[in-house]
Chain A
Amino acid sequence: MPNTVENLLRAMHRSMDEVIAPSVPSDNPLAREQSMLVAKALAFLATQIGYLHQKDRHELLAYSDIAAGILAASDEPERPEALKWLEAAHDRAAAVAVRPDAASNDVTGAVADLTGAICALIRARKELSSKVQNALRSNVLTGSKPVLDLNRSFFLPTGFERSTDAPPPLAEILTRENT
């Protein structure tokens, strides 16, 4: 059976855009604004929904890279609790990442695990050696760029990017990082 969700979304968009929105009375600006936004949101979903799972997987890999970079800087024989959490989250993420059939919930759950552990580490940074603190700062700063590029590109059609160096198209990012 073909996946008809995109078709359905496109049909909903056309209906909103061509039939429903134009018939909203002009003296109801709130309804007019929202009907146009609903039309835009449906068009956005129709073009982006196919990328969602792949986007989540790339986010998982990017945060795994950040975690690996931090853990690599830690050579203490007895790691602080926050680092142990990160290590465990990284291991769970790796187990999900190697499964091509991992469900979306597993992938987003692993991302939540990793980001939660990294944030906990930031809050506990004073317990860390200066070497790990530096690795934490530099890995989060540089490692967040692929995550932000991915999301900026995903939301590009919503029109809020003002930067002169807009992120690459989503398909290009996903292809590039796959190779």
Chain B
Amino acid sequence: MPNDMTPQDLRDCPSDAFIAQMREAYPVEPEMDRVLTRKMQSRQSATFGDFTIDHLIGCLKAMLSDKLDGAFTVHDPHWLAGGASKLQVVFDLDWDDPEQGRTTTRMVARMEPAESLNATSRPREFQLINAFKGVLPVPRVFWLDDSATWFPQETIVYEFLKGVTRPSAEASRVSGLGQTFGPEVRAALGPQFVESLARIHTRDFAGADLSAFHVPAVGTTETAMLQLNRARRVWDEDRGHDLPLFDLAAEWLSDHLPDLDVPSLLHGDFRPGNFLFDESTMQITAWLDWERGYIGDRHRDLAWTSTSTFGSFAEDGTTFLVSGLIPEDEFFARYKAASGLSVDPKKLRFYKALNSFQLMVSALGTAYRLVRLGKTHQDVLLAWVEGVGYAQAEELRRAMLEDL
């Protein structure tokens, strides 16, 4: 019997042997192994848990009592919306800021739910944001609870930055997917968007504290293999059904792994919804959601940013706009000019296919499992994105057909 999807699905409550089997079958970066192993171990016991705002503020106060010497007050806490994976509470803190003295600072506590659509590393997010301080507009990071000492899950606390994710005149899209921008907004934000990506990929990371990251070997397929393994492992940990096209694609991708020429810091989720801008000045004010970042091949970011799901069409109905902001040809031309880096069409094709594969994992595998187990604060949103998986599956299928 080849089908292991029994009614008492072993993925609902994985055994230690199953967890060990996943780790052995799909080697990934050490930090990702830690994150994914912890995800599966916590699935053995927990459900959603007590993630009320009062409870989380209680956790926050306990942490601040241990971290701060002076008196402090937390007030005006409320939930933030807009993302598809993390719990976010915004609050004001009256405190003695070591840099500014007594002040009130608006902050965000960003925590994993019991399980997340993307199991990611808070230490990586913490280190990556710090690595771009002074290079790009990023929030000031205050604290990291990397071992869930005070909060129920790993949590990062950073500065709340002002700005909007979309023009107020435009309709909101779930998690910013397919967000549209009018011509004037595009003209102002498009060049900044590309310039920011070039800065990320050309950032010299030697000397930065990036201990949670793995630097892949140049001239080898290591980074591509590790990222493919990560997607395959998550699929095998989370899926609720078999999908022949997925398994065929996994073999096809492993036969087409590209070499790495230059290791770059990657944002990992560089798209609308993950940056803020000031509507009056039309300047980008913050780059957020670095949780998927890693050190690897820039083509992964380039392919992700230009994914169809994140883009839209211009008013003519035929010009595809990368991330809804800039025509594809112009996007790559500006990127090459700003970064001085080449764009290899063959590598771009591979990473577009890998990204479709990754989106299938999230939309058809992880979202299914999390909703089934009631693991997040926004299960209805996760259930809603299933259609993304089939749209991306068709793109992947076409890419494979072109190769035959």
Contact = CB atoms under 8 A, between A and B. Distances in A.
Interface stretch (B77-85, B138-146, B340-348): B77-85
B162 to A, nearest CB: 15
B390 interface: yes
A151 B313 CA distance: 23
A145 B309 CA distance: 19
Contacts of B312: 162
B387 A34 contact: no
B388 to A, nearest CB: 5
Contacts of B177: 160
A161 interface: yes
Contact of A37 (B384, B400, B401): B384
Among B78, B384, B404, the most chain A Cβ lie within 10 Å of the Cβ of B384
A31 B2 CA distance: 43
Given A85-B2, A120-B2, A162-B308, A141 B383 contact: no
A122 interface: yes
Contact of B80 (A29, A115, A160): A29
Residue from the set B241, B313, B377, B390 with the largest chain A CB neighbour count within 10 Å: B390
B244 interface: yes
Interface in A134-160: 136-138, 140-142, 144-145, 147-149, 151-152, 155-156, 158-160
Nearest to B394: A148
Interface string A88-126: 000000000000000000000000110111111011010
Contacts of A147: 245
A158 B251 contact: no
**Residues of B in contact with A, size category:** 35 or more
B31 interface: no
B5 A112 contact: yes
Interface string B1-44: 11111000000000000000000000000000000000000000
Nearest to B248: A140
Given A112-B5, A148-B393, A141 B81 contact: no
Given A141-B248, A152-B391, A162-B308, A30 B383 contact: no
Nearest to B379: A34
Contacts of A163: 308, 391, 394-395
A79 B313 CA distance: 50
Contact of B401 (A66, A141, A160): A141
Most chain A beta-carbon neighbours within 10 Å: one of B80, B378, B394: B394
Nearest to A164: B318
A115 B177 CA distance: 30
B247 A123 contact: yes
Contacts of A73: none
12 contacts: A30-B377, A31-B79, A113-B3, A116-B5, A119-B244, A119-B247, A140-B245, A159-B173, A161-B387, A162-B312, A163-B394, A163-B395
